[in-house]
Chain A
Amino acid sequence: MELLSILTPMFFALVAVGTVIGIIFGAIPGMTATMAVAVCLPLTYSLGLENGLALLLGLYVGGISGGLVPAILLNIPGTPSSITTTLDGYPMTQNGEGERALKIGITSSLVGGLISLAALYLFAPALADFAIKFSYIEKFLIIFFALTVMAALSSSLLVGIFSGFLGIFISLIGAYDISRGGNGELRLVPEFLEYYLESGFSLLPVLIGLFGLATILIEAERGMKEGQGLSGVKIGGKPFKISVFKGQIVNLFRSSAIGTFVGILPGVGGSAASILAYSQEKNFSKNPEKFGKGAPEGVIASESANNGLTGGALVPLLSLGIPGDSTTAILIGAFTLQGIQVGPLFIGNNPVTWNAMIIAMLVANIVMFLVMVFAIRHLAKVVTVPKNILFPIILMMCVVGAYTINYGVMFDVWTLLIFGLFGYFAHKVGLEIAPFIIGFILGPSAEIYFVKSLESFGTFSIFFTKSWIAGLLWVLIALSIAFSISVARKKHRIENGSDKP
């Protein structure tokens, strides 16, 4: 058994160490799973393939999971894929249920991680063959579908959609990215900013500016009074019981499946997974009005989907040699460093490595769960730290995250400030941040797939006639839009009704 000789104590220790470091990276606002994998990649030179992968996969699983901590406790998504976790997780914290929300989130993460791992292990090659049926057209429709979510996440339909399109518009600033198939020409950039805005605004600084800095500015405006807002929350609230998952089995499986599936599609982007899962849960829910006010279902959907991503993103990596998200793009480096090719023959040619990876992922998920369960009680106390100590530290970490995301670009730090102010004023004038950031994330992909579809096929009708998958996606899009409108109408009626004396 060659596999057994690889599964040394060292192997398991590396998975555990990786997972813990990953959780720390994910839990610090501004630091991401991608960054954790990138900084540890050089360490794997000396470790050998399987041990190196053990470390990196631990980092990957830990990093994706850690993102829920600041999302739930501080309303700052630790990674872009935990944006939808903030929507219900943070209200739960404000209700004094931070610890409960964290436990719900972490359990969902475990389930999502395990379901996607099973999918990876059992169906990787078949899933990869399915994934290549998605051309530009189907990918555009998936993005379009995810964008319809903007409506579901808005408190006012019209303003929400406007905010979302504004997000798309701002995401297009800069060059039409050559590396994604564009022509490299600038658009929407004033001449005096050309030097800085060549590659537009980076996602991470925008994200932590809108969520982190803007929140702190709002607190500063209110005078940083203790006992208000963030630190006013009481600890305790409802305790976590496993029974919260009763009736959530469908949600768990659907969200994990959505996460896995989005992970499989290269170029769609990991953040789309939790966004889609969250909105589907809201659409199917009997009480959609509870979402955004601390509904555990929202946390479950979001977190099971973003951990579902981990197994999914490895499918195209290991069966097509193509990374499914930004973190797995760095994993490719780990393979080439060791002289191993990833591609359609990888699994067949390297059964030992393949099995070792699956075991590493499995262990990483379990370690992640155990570590978090023990750490949660202490983590949840973060909200009791005085604001005058906590906020400056968060600001500093946001700066570190912004500066390091592109390996040292000072303009990214200024982006943080620009979008901190933008978020602050958006709050003042009533723009909605959640649809805005979703538009910002999905905008560039929507553009490339839309324009390339037309470039290749030269007709709009192709969006309807390409394949049965396209047809199915249109049905989903229509349902999603119809649902949002009906919810908005219902809400409108209720509001109007209660306004009458």
Chain B
Amino acid sequence: MTGLFKSIAVAAGFAAMVASPVLASAADLPSNIRLVIGSKSTGGDTYQNSAIVAEALAKKLDINVKVDAVGSSEAFKALQRDSRGTTIMIFHDQSYLGNLYGVRGYDDIFENYVVGPTVAINPGNAYLVPKNSPMQSMEDVIAAAAAGQRIRVAIQAGGVSEIGFSALKNAVKVSYPGAEANIVPVNTGSQADKNQLMFDGQADVINGSVQANEQFTQLSPDDQKAMRFIWLTARKETIAQANAEGMGDTTRDELLAFTTPNVSVTLDGSKDFTFDKEFFFLFNKDMDADQIAAIDTALKEIYAAGDIQKTQKASFFIPNYKPQAEAATYLKAKRDEYRHVIDAIATK
């Protein structure tokens, strides 16, 4: 009924209604917050996860939090314009991977924004082959590349979808220097396009996700659409936190067979490469530190209460709250690790 109340107030005169929260002391959060996200889709994981967090925050702080799927470039612009705390952002590793891959429009987030806290992980990033492919595992793929076979990997360039590809290329380089040239990208767009390239025989390996591709792995091998997981980039500890049912007809234990150490894509010969797609907050650099702290504290209490975890897990997200400062340090270290991988395979 707040809507009705507000419109009565509006009819009577605006000033009293909305002006007051803006004029309140700086540490207080505005009563209407716009949460922009780096994705344009309202059907995707970023939106879904942001909606869960926004709802919890709104309830906890008794404010309005509206999620707007404006996409990365508009989101960064909106965040940069507004230092009052009325615009905040949630995005994932794409925000710094875009910068590492030199995609236009991505600045260094650690310089230009306040990063953190983290809220969740989407553990689903996966690589798949056709079910009847002669390559049945990541080992086969690496061996084939080492033997001189050209391996075409369907990815979307410049971010989350490419990082696993870069890691694979790097792993081949570490074990069989020179053979990494056999791992070639097929740059494409949506999951539909990646799947289609596999159906057409134009890609040997595709990037996909547990959520979107699991049902294809259940099809019989003579079906043109049948696929097989060969690698989940998530850490073993991440998948281990998922509900035991896993996703669809694939249980958590079956999923664990596709993560390190069961599937090894080496980082440097000793350690395996892993990648968790983590969702985190980004704030305007000049936003009041007290306001950021207020959001951080609210999140801490929300996670301590324990209900949000159930909602997240039911949607195959892994809860992952890290306080702002800790999250910023952690993500920066993560970024530096991936920078090494990307630099190592750079051809220039």
Please give the distance in Å from A378's CB to the nearest CB on chain B. Answer: 26
> In chain B, residues 175-229, which have Cβ atoms closer than 8 Å to a Cβ of chain A?
186-193, 195-197, 199-200, 202, 211-216, 218-219, 223-225
Set A179, A195, A455: member contacting B156, Cβ < 8 A:
A179
* Any B CB within 8 A of the CB of A232: no
Tell me whether B156 and A181 are in contact (CB under 8 A): yes
Tell me whether A180 and B202 are in contact (CB under 8 A): no
10 closest A-B pairs (Cβ-Cβ)?
A343-B215, A333-B43, A181-B189, A180-B189, A407-B68, A322-B192, A332-B43, A181-B188, A345-B215, A135-B200
In the complex the two chains form, what is the Cα distance from A434 to B34 in whole Å?
A: 38
> In chain B, residues 234-263, which have Cβ atoms closer than 8 Å to a Cβ of chain A?
247-249
* Any B CB within 8 A of the CB of A487: no
User: Which stretch from A81-89, A111-119, A334-342 is at the chain B interface?
Assistant: A334-342
Nearest chain A residue, comparing its CB with the CB of B103: A184
Tell me whether A345 and B218 are in contact (CB under 8 A): yes
Tell me whether A181 and B187 are in contact (CB under 8 A): yes
User: Which stretch from B11-19, B44-52, B110-118, B295-303 is at the chain A interface?
Assistant: B44-52
* Any B CB within 8 A of the CB of A221: no
Nearest chain A residue, comparing its CB with the CB of B243: A339
- Residues of chain A at the chain B interface (Cβ within 8 Å): 38, 41-42, 129, 132, 135-136, 175, 177-186, 195, 198-199, 266-267, 316, 320-323, 329-334, 336-337, 339, 341, 343-346, 406-409, 448, 452, 455-456
Please give the distance in Å from A3's CB to the nearest CB on chain B. Answer: 22
In the complex the two chains form, what is the Cα distance from A344 to B197 in whole Å?
A: 17
Please give the distance in Å from B344's CB to the nearest CB on chain A. Answer: 22
A-B contact pairs, 16 of them (CB 8 A): A178-B157, A180-B189, A182-B189, A183-B158, A195-B77, A199-B73, A267-B193, A320-B192, A320-B225, A323-B43, A323-B192, A343-B216, A406-B74, A407-B69, A407-B70, A409-B74
In the complex the two chains form, what is the Cα distance from A452 to B189 in whole Å?
A: 10
On chain A, the residues within 8 Å of B48 by CB distance are 333, 336-337
Set A42, A180, A341, A452: member contacting B214, Cβ < 8 A:
A341
Please give the distance in Å from A276's CB to the nearest CB on chain B. Answer: 21
Tell me whether A320 and B195 are in contact (CB under 8 A): yes
In the complex the two chains form, what is the Cα distance from A184 to B157 in whole Å?
A: 9
On chain A, the residues within 8 Å of B191 by CB distance are 321-322
How many B residues are at the interface, by size bracket? 35 or more
Known A-B contacts A266-B192, A333-B42; A344 and B216 likewise in contact (beta carbons under 8 Å) = yes
Known A-B contacts A339-B315, A341-B247; A184 and B105 likewise in contact (beta carbons under 8 Å) = yes
On chain B, the residues within 8 Å of A408 by CB distance are 34, 68, 70, 78
Tell me whether B190 and A409 are in contact (CB under 8 A): no
Known A-B contacts A132-B225, A178-B156, A185-B104; A336 and B211 likewise in contact (beta carbons under 8 Å) = yes
On chain A, the residues within 8 Å of B214 by CB distance are 341, 343
In the complex the two chains form, what is the Cα distance from A429 to B202 in whole Å?
A: 47
On chain A, the residues within 8 Å of B325 by CB distance are none
Set B68, B190, B202, B223: member contacting A456, Cβ < 8 A:
B202
In the complex the two chains form, what is the Cα distance from A21 to B293 in whole Å?
A: 41
Tell me whether A199 and B192 are in contact (CB under 8 A): no
In the complex the two chains form, what is the Cα distance from A322 to B196 in whole Å?
A: 11
Tell me whether B224 and A132 are in contact (CB under 8 A): yes
Nearest chain B residue, comparing its CB with the CB of A346: B215
On chain B, the residues within 8 Å of A330 by CB distance are 41-43
Please give the distance in Å from A444's CB to the nearest CB on chain B. Answer: 11
In the complex the two chains form, what is the Cα distance from A452 to B193 in whole Å?
A: 11
On chain A, the residues within 8 Å of B78 by CB distance are 408
On chain B, the residues within 8 Å of A343 by CB distance are 212-216, 248
Tell me whether B43 and A331 are in contact (CB under 8 A): yes
Nearest chain B residue, comparing its CB with the CB of A456: B202
In the complex the two chains form, what is the Cα distance from A195 to B202 in whole Å?
A: 36
In the complex the two chains form, what is the Cα distance from A400 to B275 in whole Å?
A: 41
Tell me whether A333 and B103 are in contact (CB under 8 A): no
Interface flags for B312-330 (1: CB within 8 Å of A; 0: not) read 0011100000000000000
Set B44, B71, B158, B159: member contacting A333, Cβ < 8 A:
B44
* Any A CB within 8 A of the CB of B40: yes
Interface flags for B61-73 (1: CB within 8 Å of A; 0: not) read 0000000111101
On chain A, the residues within 8 Å of B41 by CB distance are 329-330, 333
Which residue of B187, B213, B247 has the most chain A CB atoms within 10 A of its CB atom?
B187
On chain B, the residues within 8 Å of A331 by CB distance are 43
In the complex the two chains form, what is the Cα distance from A374 to B51 in whole Å?
A: 38
- Extra contacts besides A334-B43, A409-B70 (17): CB < 8 Å: A135-B200, A136-B196, A179-B40, A183-B157, A184-B158, A198-B73, A198-B105, A330-B42, A339-B316, A343-B215, A344-B218, A344-B219, A406-B70, A407-B68, A407-B70, A408-B70, A455-B187
Please give the distance in Å from A246's CB to the nearest CB on chain B. Answer: 41
On chain A, the residues within 8 Å of B42 by CB distance are 38, 41, 330, 333
Please give the distance in Å from A45's CB to the nearest CB on chain B. Answer: 8
Tell me whether B219 and A456 are in contact (CB under 8 A): no
Nearest chain A residue, comparing its CB with the CB of B223: A344
Please give the distance in Å from A319's CB to the nearest CB on chain B. Answer: 9
In the complex the two chains form, what is the Cα distance from A322 to B212 in whole Å?
A: 9
Please give the distance in Å from A135's CB to the nearest CB on chain B. Answer: 5
In the complex the two chains form, what is the Cα distance from A186 to B202 in whole Å?
A: 27
On chain A, the residues within 8 Å of B249 by CB distance are 345
In the complex the two chains form, what is the Cα distance from A184 to B248 in whole Å?
A: 35
In the complex the two chains form, what is the Cα distance from A244 to B73 in whole Å?
A: 51
In the complex the two chains form, what is the Cα distance from A262 to B121 in whole Å?
A: 36
> In chain B, residues 128-177, which have Cβ atoms closer than 8 Å to a Cβ of chain A?
156-159
Tell me whether B196 and A132 are in contact (CB under 8 A): yes
In the complex the two chains form, what is the Cα distance from A288 to B40 in whole Å?
A: 41
On chain B, the residues within 8 Å of A199 by CB distance are 71, 73-74
Set A38, A178, A181, A316: member contacting B193, Cβ < 8 A:
A181
Nearest chain A residue, comparing its CB with the CB of B77: A195
Tell me whether A186 and B69 are in contact (CB under 8 A): no
In the complex the two chains form, what is the Cα distance from A213 to B188 in whole Å?
A: 37
On chain B, the residues within 8 Å of A320 by CB distance are 192, 195, 225
Nearest chain B residue, comparing its CB with the CB of A407: B68
In the complex the two chains form, what is the Cα distance from A42 to B159 in whole Å?
A: 29
On chain A, the residues within 8 Å of B69 by CB distance are 407
On chain B, the residues within 8 Å of A321 by CB distance are 191, 212, 215
Nearest chain B residue, comparing its CB with the CB of A139: B196
In the complex the two chains form, what is the Cα distance from A256 to B83 in whole Å?
A: 52
Set A183, A333, A456: member contacting B47, Cβ < 8 A:
A333
On chain B, the residues within 8 Å of A183 by CB distance are 157-158, 187
Nearest chain B residue, comparing its CB with the CB of A323: B43
In the complex the two chains form, what is the Cα distance from A339 to B42 in whole Å?
A: 16
On chain B, the residues within 8 Å of A41 by CB distance are 42
On chain B, the residues within 8 Å of A407 by CB distance are 68-70
Please give the distance in Å from B93's CB to the nearest CB on chain A. Answer: 15
Set A182, A334, A345, A456: member contacting B248, Cβ < 8 A:
A345
Known A-B contacts A42-B51, A175-B104, A333-B47; A341 and B315 likewise in contact (beta carbons under 8 Å) = no
On chain B, the residues within 8 Å of A323 by CB distance are 43, 192
On chain B, the residues within 8 Å of A135 by CB distance are 196, 199-200, 202
Please give the distance in Å from B232's CB to the nearest CB on chain A. Answer: 16
Please give the distance in Å from B131's CB to the nearest CB on chain A. Answer: 12
Tell me whether A456 and B186 are in contact (CB under 8 A): yes
Tell me whether A179 and B189 are in contact (CB under 8 A): yes
In the complex the two chains form, what is the Cα distance from A182 to B314 in whole Å?
A: 34
In the complex the two chains form, what is the Cα distance from A129 to B104 in whole Å?
A: 38
Please give the distance in Å from B303's CB to the nearest CB on chain A. Answer: 20
In the complex the two chains form, what is the Cα distance from A452 to B191 in whole Å?
A: 15
On chain A, the residues within 8 Å of B105 by CB distance are 175, 184, 198
Nearest chain B residue, comparing its CB with the CB of A322: B192
Tell me whether B315 and A336 are in contact (CB under 8 A): yes
